[in-house]
Amino acid sequence: MTEKKRKIHVIGINSYKFEDLPLKLQNLFSETVSIAVPNSYFEKIKSWNDTNFKQKKSFFESKSNKELIKWLRSLKTDVILFSRGDPLWFGIGRILLENFSKNELSFYPTNTCMQLAFSELKIPWHDAINVSIHGRDSKKLVEALKTKPANLAIITDSKNKSLEIIKRNLLELGLIDFYDFWLCEEIGFKNENIRKLN
């Protein structure tokens, strides 16, 4: 792994409003030319420059980790990479650490979706078990369910029928009536949707 002097600034967000960024990160955005943004909210972040600065910036629409790593390796100057929540919590941070030296990376986390969800539901979460089935199989979910934790938080994936997978696992383990089940979508964002499921 060849270390470069430039920095990869990985910024976690919980809002698509530029003014919700801390001032330090607003300034970093203003000063940085190369910006990577996941394709699902690319246009929203790109509009920050059009609205606030109208500077010449190079925006990279991140569609896959492989493409993103290749693009980041090609850069010689500092870059910002946007992520949701905390990049080191079931996020892109792990993949970046596998491909770049720690000295090249700076992380700026914000609240995780789980922190926000438990806060909205007014449930203490110090003993919660967190599992992700976003782009992963449900093996860890099954292991967690077998321990019957009081609080279990699951990061789902809209592309892999997560709710059906969870329901099937609960049925197979005889736990379908063991939990209250809350679905929290776009938590912390303008179109947040929280509902209890039967």
pLDDT tens track for 147-196: 999 999 999 887 778 888 999 999 999 998 898 889 998 887 888 899 99
End-to-end CA distance of the chain: 49
**Residue showing tokens 């969870």:** 166
* Number of neighbours of residue 95 by Cβ within 10 angstroms: 14
Distance CA 147, CA 38 (A): 35
Distance CA 140, CA 145 (A): 9
**Residue showing tokens 């420059």:** 49
100-120: pLDDT as tens digits? 999 999 999 999 889 999 999
36-79: pLDDT as tens digits? 999 889 999 999 998 878 788 999 998 888 999 999 999 999 99
